[in-house]
Structure formats: C-alpha cells, structure tokens
Chain A
C-alpha cells in the first residue's frame, strides 16, 4: 500500500539554527498536509499544499511540495524553543484515507 516516509526521525538543534524535515511518498499525492504535535499534546494542522512545486510560508516556516507531487519539505528558519515538538506530514490515499509519516521529533537547545 501507499507509504509516506519522513526523515530525519529526530533532530536536536541549537536555538537560532535552521531545521528541515523531508517527506517522501511512494505514490503521487493529490495534496500533502503538515501537522505539529507538542509533547503530550495532539496534532495540530499547519498547512495543506495542493499544487506541483507549491511553496507556502508561515512566518519562519516554509513548506514546499515537489514538482512530481511525491515529496515535500518543511523548513524552519532560526528555530526557537516554541518550535519543539513532532512534525508530521500526511497524504491521502486513492480512497481518501490519510496516511501519516512517522514524524520528525525536533528538540531545541537554548
């Protein structure tokens, strides 16, 4: 079945450094969604990308959807301690069920 893979599994950065997580799907996606989950919390929707090559920004976060619509990335510029958490990507299957990546855990040292 469809698989969504995320790397890295874990990243520990110094506050102020940049951070990137990558998401790759085994099949072409109609869209890709990104979520953030704070420690002990629930996933919170960040954004959805639909178009090939799309780039969207939310303050220090930049989201990209690949030209082939099989990969995506989330880049955080100048991380802050408030960025700590797990970042998930997710893409719909043909049956419109959402498949999540395993997530990237971000820790920020102040």
Chain B
C-alpha cells in the first residue's frame, strides 16, 4: 500500500512553460484534492474531486487545470507557468474522515 504518491519531487520551469504534476492513490478513495503551500499561508486548496469524472474549484484555481478519469489518478496541469506559481504542491486523498497527503512537489518557476 503506497498511499498517495506524487511525481516529480522537484521541478524547475521557465515562465510560460506547461507541465503536469502527477498524483496517484491506491486506497480507493473517492475524494482527492490539490493544495499549494507558501510560507506563512498554510495550505490553500486549488482543485478537488469527489469522484471519477467530477472536479471542482477550490480557493486558488486560476492557472491550474485538473481532470479525474480514474479513481486512482488526479493530475494537476499548469497551463502557462508564472513565477507566482513557485510553491510546494501537495496532493491528498480522503478516506474514513482522514486526509492523507502525498510527499509533495517543489516547483520553481523562473
């Protein structure tokens, strides 16, 4: 049982580049979410999904897209990276009222 996995662990992008952050869970959880963490601001919800084919916006969705074609996978796409998107990104899945976080992706946009 790997729990929640995220790839890559680190990424450096140039402004305007696009990329996809991968997230997968093997706990058969319906609810998954993406957060970004910036110093002094806690975790802010970007997008979330309550099941395959269903996604919705969180607190800070602009500049990000998500899709949920399977229960296991919930990728996060940056369409045109900006320096303001430099952050640590955490994926999480929720089951039995407990939220399990992945190890995170550290993203630097130059």
Q: Which residues of A contact B (CB under 8 A)?
A: 1, 6, 9, 31, 33, 35, 41-45, 48, 88, 90, 97-103
Contact = CB atoms under 8 A, between A and B. Distances in A.
B79 interface: no
A98 B103 contact: no
A48 B90 contact: no
B99 A45 contact: yes
B45 A97 contact: yes
Contacts of B59: 1, 97, 99
B58 interface: yes
Contacts of A101: 42
Interface of B: 33, 35, 40-45, 48, 58-59, 90, 97-104
B45 A42 contact: no
Contacts of A88: 42-43
Given A45-B98, A45-B99, A100 B58 contact: no
Contact of B45 (A41, A45, A98, A103): A98
Given A42-B90, A43-B90, A98-B33, A103 B42 contact: yes
A106 B98 CA distance: 23
Given A42-B104, A45-B98, A48-B98, 7 more contacts: A6-B42, A42-B101, A43-B101, A88-B43, A99-B45, A100-B44, A101-B42
A56 to B, nearest CB: 14
Contacts of A90: 43
14 contacts: A6-B42, A31-B97, A42-B90, A42-B102, A45-B98, A45-B99, A90-B43, A97-B45, A97-B59, A98-B33, A98-B45, A100-B44, A101-B42, A102-B41
A47 to B, nearest CB: 10
B42 A42 contact: no
B99 A33 contact: yes
B101 A100 contact: no
A19 to B, nearest CB: 19
A98 B102 CA distance: 16
